Amino acid sequence: MSISDTLAGRHAVVSGAAGGIGAAIVRRLIAEGAEVIGIDRNAAGLRALQDHLGTRFHPWPVDLADRAALAEPLAWPCDILVNNAGILRLATLEDCDDELLDDIMAVNFLAAVRLTRGLLPALRASRGVVITIASELALIGQAGYSAYSASKGALIAWSRALAIELAPAGIRVNCVCPGPIDTAMLQDEFANLGDQAAARAAEIKTIPLGRLGRPEDIAATVGFLASDAAAFVTGAAWTVDGGKTQC
């Protein structure tokens, strides 16, 4: 079976689809034969992706922090759901006010719960797959990331429980935990540290494989977990970080 037909005939929904890891996942799933609905509040980014990918990509511009947008079950076919949407707000505990906490939990955790709940009838019908993008920072600590780490850790715990709950329905649920991935979000983090080049070099020194990850590294893992090759994999948190969390 070639990469072009691994997911032929399947319908996927990917949140946070407009750029970075999300766009790479969309491209991978389409390359493997799936039809993809991409969700993001960045409407322009979705349109650009559609211009590139054509008719098998369907944009849905929506802010996943808006509870009303996901209040009702979603009448879409869905074999594969990828909960990828996420935001990062760096703050010490003293500066981590309720607004920051609410924003992070709304997008990083609660949006995944609500989107999965909304698509549950379709996932039951297809005996589908749920893949949620967590983070290495759900597994290791780093100063200034406590709220972000909590939101990503919640995704892992939720996914493990959901994997047991939905196993009788034939639905598989897994997480992917990326390490430092070379995206605009990571570059913004480096810029906030002052010397962007030095921050980048320092980060690479923490990675045994000696490089930053690429969005395509995460997309390849998602493609595997979405496929029949991973038919016996559920309740897992796959770390894709070049060995960083092993140090």
pLDDT of residue 173: 98
pLDDT of residue 71: 76
| 3-state SS, one letter per residue, for the chain | CCHHHCCCCCEEEEECCCCHHHHHHHHHHHHCCCEEEEEECCHHHHHHHHHHHCCCEEEEECCCCCHHHHCCCCCCCCCEEEECCCCCCCCCHHHCCHHHHHHHHHHHHHHHHHHHHHHHHHHHHHCCEEEEECCHHHCCCCCCCHHHHHHHHHHHHHHHHHHHHHHHHCCEEEEEEECCECCHHHHHHHHHCCCHHHHHHHHHHCCCCCCCECHHHHHHHHHHHHCHHHCCCCCCEEEECCCHHHC
Question: How far, in Å, CA of 217 to CA of 31, rounded?
Answer: 15
pLDDT of residue 1: 39
pLDDT of residue 25: 98
Write out pLDDT tens, residues 209-234: 999 999 999 999 999 999 999 999 99
**What value does the mean pLDDT of the chain take?**
93
CA dihedral sign, ordered 233, 186, 62, 9: negative
145 in catalytic set: no
Radius of gyration for the chain, computed over Cα atoms and rounded to the nearest angstrom: 17
What the chain holds in terms of domains, given with CATH numbers, is 3-178+213-239 (3.40.50.720)
Q: Give the active site residue among 57, 145, 148, 158.
A: 148
Write out pLDDT tens, residues 83-133: 999 998 888 999 999 999 999 999 999 999 999 999 999 999 999 999 999
Instruction: Band the pLDDT of 19: cuts 50, 70, 90.
Output: very high
pTM > 0.85? yes
Question: How far, in Å, CA of 129 to CA of 30, rounded?
Answer: 16
Compute the average pLDDT of residues 148-167: 98
Name which of 2-6, 14-18, 155-159, 173-177 the model is least confident about: 2-6
Close Cβ partners of 7 (under 8 Å, ≥ 6 residues apart): 29, 32, 33, 34, 79, 80, 223, 226, 227
Amino acid at site 126: S
pLDDT of residue 187: 84
Amino acid at site 186: L
* Residue 205 in this model has a pLDDT that exceeds 70: yes
